[in-house]
Amino acid sequence: MSQDKAGYPGYLIESLLAQGPVTVVYSAIDLVSGLPCVIKTIRLDHPYEKQALGFLKNEIKVLETIKHAACPVLLKTNVENSPFFFVMEKIEGSTLRHELGRKFSFVPSVVIEISRQILSLLSILHGGGFTHGDIKPENILIEQSGKIKIVDFAFSSNVRLNDKLETNLMLGTPNYIAPELCSDVPAIALENDIYSLGVLIFEMLTGALPYPEGNISQTLLRHQSDPPSKLRQFLGHLNPKLVNAVVEMLSFNLADRPKAKNLLDTFVKFEIENMVSG
């Protein structure tokens, strides 16, 4: 079924930005202000409207609650009448996935800067009891200034309120998902994000994933049973403190992973050390 682009009064749909199994994201123009924006809506062909609306409301809740420089600004919501959607600021930049495709990997100073910005938001999110739920290169946008924005909070959960998604979908992306989320009864916790960020940092530093790639079943099995492949061998030429941080983030046991706030302090120190030595 084709998506109806005419159902958003006050907005001119320009182009399709992204399309997932549940939602569609459009670039649009606000006809009142004339400013560019982004509209996120539910796929019309999604078979479970109530579940899909839950994802949309989930993201709206986080954007309304968390105010941070790395969090997109929410402009408008409509969850009362179909088509359900929300509008947020348009971010001019490219995804981290795109940049990794161009550069393969980044120098440690750039990785540290990007990671520190991600951790700055995660520390606020986690402080409020929220997980992000899907940290991966596609959800990190890099502006020309080097500042980042993190998008797609649809899989977020508030663990403090035990407010968890009711869904039959995998809670995350296979190559970045934490081991405890691979089981039949996934353990949703703040530390899920720390593991995913550890995978992301490893990838930014090396251009590779810490696990050999395979199909979804193989990947999930490796995350549950295999130690990350030769972590220190791949990262051995780097600052040992940075290597230790990544290894701890990729711990199988979520209780052994550092907290976002403590990691933020660590990565701020890395930045200061780079400035002093540079």
Domains of the chain: 11-89 (3.30.200.20), 93-277 (1.10.510.10)
Count Cβ atoms within 10 A of the Cβ of residue 77 and give its class: 0-12 exposed, 13-18 middle, 19 or more buried: middle
* Distance in angstroms (rounded) separating the CA atoms of residues 211 and 208: 8
Return the structure tokens found at 210: 């810490």
Q: What is the pLDDT at residue 3?
A: 57
Give residue 232's pLDDT.
76
Q: What is the pLDDT of residue 1?
A: 37
Ramachandran category for residue 136: left, alpha or beta (phi over 0 → left; psi -120 to 50 → alpha): beta
Q: How far apart are CA 181 and CA 205, in angstroms?
A: 25
Residue 111 CA to chain centroid, in angstroms? 16
> What is the three-class DSSP state of 83?
coil
Q: Which two tokens stand for residue 1?
A: 């079924």
pLDDT of residue 13: 94
| Ranges of the chain with pLDDT below 70 | 1-6, 47-48, 162-171, 216, 220, 223-224, 226-227, 229-230, 277-278
Radius of gyration of the chain (CA): 19
Show contacts of 58-61: CB within 8 Å, 24+ apart.
58/153, 58/154, 58/155, 58/156, 58/165, 59/86, 59/152, 59/153, 59/154, 59/156, 60/86, 61/156
> Residues with Cβ < 8 Å from 61, sequence gap 6 or more?
156
Residues 6+ apart with CB under 8 A from 168: none
Confidence at residue 47, expressed as pLDDT on a 0 to 100 scale: 66
CA atoms of 211 and 199, how far apart (whole Å): 9
The closest of 86, 42, 92 to 62, measured between CA atoms, is: 86
- Amino acid 195: pLDDT: 95
Task: Please give the DSSP secondary-structure letter assigned to residue 227.
Answer: P
H runs (alpha helix) in 128-259: 191-206, 216-225, 231-235, 240-249
